[in-house]
Amino acid sequence: MSAIPRQLPVITKPRAAACYNGVHGQAMVEVVRIVTLLVCSMVFLLHNSFYENHRYFSSGS
C-alpha cells in the first residue's frame, strides 16, 4: 500500500493490482464477448450448411 497520505491505496504486486484495479474483469468481459461471437457464428454457419444440404438433397437433383 502507498504511504502517501490522502490518496487511494495502490497495490504494487502485478497480479494483485490487476485484480484490484479491475483488469481481470475487463479481460474476462472481452473473452466472453469473443467466445459468444464465435459460438453464434458457428451456429449460424452450421444451420445454413444443414439447410442448404437439406434443400439440395430433397429437391431430387
One-character DSSP codes across 3-47: --TTS-----SHHHHHHHTTHHHHHHHHHHHHHHHHHHHHHHHHH
Strands, E assignment, 1-61: none
In this prediction, residue 18 carries a pLDDT of 59
Predicted confidence pLDDT, tens digits, the chain (61 residues): 455 556 556 655 656 555 655 666 778 888 899 999 999 999 888 888 877 777 767 766 5
In this prediction, residue 37 carries a pLDDT of 93
Q: Are 24 and 18 in contact (CB under 8 A)?
A: yes
Where along the chain do its domains lie? 14-58
In this prediction, residue 46 carries a pLDDT of 86
